[in-house]
Structure 1
Amino acid sequence: MNKMAVIGDSETVLPYKAFGFMTFSTTSAECDGIIRKLMSDEEYRIIFIMEEYAEALRDVLKELRASERTFPIVIEVPGIRGSKGNGQEKIKKIVERAVGMDIFSKED
């Protein structure tokens, strides 16, 4: 069975639980062990992680992207206090690489 997980503080992960996501309420100091555990579990396909937690895990996330594995896909989401823009920028780069151009550009 394919699973999706959310890692963040309790305020951020709570709404995701209502939609059936596996939620991991933690601190940024503890999220390293959690994301490594989720990455080794082949049932997890998508992992959403709070932007500020992802900043503390840059090396781990870089290691995942460098591997040849397709899953899990890690997506940064804003916390309850708002977005830092990191997640949006990463999605923009992924789409640009897949499509071959920047479709989010405001130029006509």
Structure 2
Amino acid sequence: MYKIAVLGSYDSIYGFAALGLDTFPVEDAKEGAEKLKKLAENNFAVIYITEELAKDLSHEIDKLKERVLPAVILIPGISGNTGDGVQQVKDCVEKAVGSDIIFGEN
């Protein structure tokens, strides 16, 4: 059975445990990279990762995009929304559909 993980700073992710998701707080990018690799190898189909941590792990995340699973989805952290998660979704939709589906935005 596949599982869902949430990766990021403790303050940003602890609430997800109440939803029954497996949370993995990390202190820095090095620890985050190691944990991301382990999660990807251990039946996690979806890994939510805070935007702040993801910017430091872009190389590792790009490698995972070549695989079917896990899906890595960026979420805002406690410091707020950087827009990277929205941009990631927009890029995926544009790739799948062939064009930008959000009109009026540049």
Provide TM-score, normalisation by structure 1. Answer: 0.89
Residue type at the aligned position of 2:8? G
Residue type at the aligned position of 1:63? K
Task: Give a deviation string over 1:43-97, Cα, whole Å, max 9, x none.
Answer: 21110001111111111111122x3x21100011110110111111010000111
Residue type at the aligned position of 2:53? Y
The corresponding residue for 2:19 is 19
Gaps (5+ residues) in structure 2?
Answer: none
The corresponding residue for 2:28 is 28
The corresponding residue for 1:5 is 5
The corresponding residue for 1:82 is 80
Gaps (5+ residues) in structure 1?
Answer: none
Counterpart CA distance in 1 for 2:28 and 2:101 is 33
When the two chains are superposed, the root-mean-square deviation of aligned CA atoms in Å is 1.3
Provide TM-score, normalisation by structure 2. Answer: 0.90
Residue type at the aligned position of 1:94? C
State the 4+ residue runs in structure 1 displaced beyond 3 angstroms: none
- How far residue 32 of structure 1 moved from its aligned partner, in angstroms, is 0.8
Counterpart CA distance in 1 for 2:49 and 2:28 is 10
Task: Give a deviation string over 1:15-50, Cα, whole Å, max 9, x none.
Answer: 111111110011223101100001111x21110001
Secondary structure at 1:62's aligned position in 2? Answer: helix
